[in-house]
Amino acid sequence: MEDDRAYPVETHPDQSHPDQTHPVQSHPELTHPAGEQGGRAGRLEACRRAYADQIAEQAGIDPGSEIAAALAAIPRERFVGPPPWNLRPPSGYLQTAANDPVVLYQDVVVPLGRGWGLNNGQPSLHAMCLAALAPQKGEHALHVGAGTGYYTTILAMLVGETGRVDAYEIEPELAERARANLKEFAQAAVHCRSGAEGPLPDCDVLYVSAAAAEPLAVWLDALRPEGRLLFPLAAEGGSGEMLLVTRKTDGTYAARLLISVQFVRCAGAQDEQAGRALNAAFWRGGGSKVRWLHRNDQPDESCWCAGRGWWLGTESGAGDQGSGRR
């Protein structure tokens, strides 16, 4: 059962990546999709603008940011299943009475289609995550678990035409829908394969939208200096927290747990032993003190959680410099 909601307990996104304030390039095809004429299109646009303001408020980001502008521009109805929609407010599902897409412009999880068991995630959670990743114009972003491409589209708008997005989705039908939804963005490519396996291109931003029990070596290796990785660190079926990892120029990795989440599993990133160690660490608490990811098997007393070849700790360790394997 897909559950992609956020349960915010720690709301301290990395302030070192402030929101961008430049307007995103407009995409007339997105704001005036075929079939939406006159008043209906205008009404939906007004709804999207109100939605973007609401999500920015919820996510604690600037309503004038590029992320908010992207939320106001992208028709969410293209990315979810057909109506009637089962909106997912904080508990249970609520089937919409009407087939009017205005209902999609709320901070709710929406199934990607009936039967998939996969959802278009909670907008305020993803807005906060994208703000923490702070993709810049011209950067290369990877998106693992693209679904039908709603948040991939925001990534494509944020990196702009001079940037590049490579998105990975293992479900062929979803990958096909993502490809169709992203056809106006020459800078984006959708790959129907696992993003938990190499080869992956070198990148500045790596956003994972499915739960992993550990930071995969293939993700850490793909990060350029100052590259940012953000993924739901969680054992299969459990709740966890979004882990932001920044590869420093000296080869060390700064790390921070940002917010509590539940996601479906990332195929190929759910080692059972790592999952058990992770659940025990979350149970003990203290994750908010994590500051560093180390790539070795010698955890010191500052260790919060350790797996094979990595551990998360509160202190930078001796001998970390240059531990990045590239």
Binding site for ligand SAM (CB under 6 A): 2, 4, 118-121, 144-148, 150-151, 168-171, 174, 194-196, 209-210, 263-264, 266-268
Alpha helices in 160-271 (DSSP H): 172-181, 217-222
Shorter beta-carbon distance to ligand SAM: residue 171 or 271: 171
Q: Estimate the crossing angle of helix 66-73 against helix 38-59, to 10 degrees.
A: 150
Task: State the nearest-atom distance from the C-beta of 306 to ligand SAM, in Å.
Answer: 23
Task: State the nearest-atom distance from the C-beta of 197 to ligand SAM, in Å.
Answer: 7
- CA–CA gap between residue 149 and residue 145 (Å, rounded): 9
Task: State the nearest-atom distance from the C-beta of 48 to ligand SAM, in Å.
Answer: 17
Burial class (CB in 10 A: 0-12, 13-18, 19+), 294: buried
Contact 165, 204 (CB under 8 A): no
Task: State the nearest-atom distance from the C-beta of 291 to ligand SAM, in Å.
Answer: 28
If we measure between CA atoms, which residue out of 137, 172, 175 comes closest to residue 156?
137
HEC per residue, 72-87: HHCCHHHCCCCCCCEE
Shorter beta-carbon distance to ligand SAM: residue 116 or 136: 116
> How many separate helices (H) and strands (E) can be counted in the chain?
8, 14
Shorter beta-carbon distance to ligand SAM: residue 240 or 313: 240
Task: State the nearest-atom distance from the C-beta of 221 to ligand SAM, in Å.
Answer: 16
CA 151 to the chain's CA centroid: 7
Shorter beta-carbon distance to ligand SAM: residue 200 or 255: 200
Shorter beta-carbon distance to ligand SAM: residue 125 or 306: 125
Shorter beta-carbon distance to ligand SAM: residue 121 or 313: 121
Task: State the nearest-atom distance from the C-beta of 116 to ligand SAM, in Å.
Answer: 8
For ligand SAM, the nearest residue by Cβ is 147
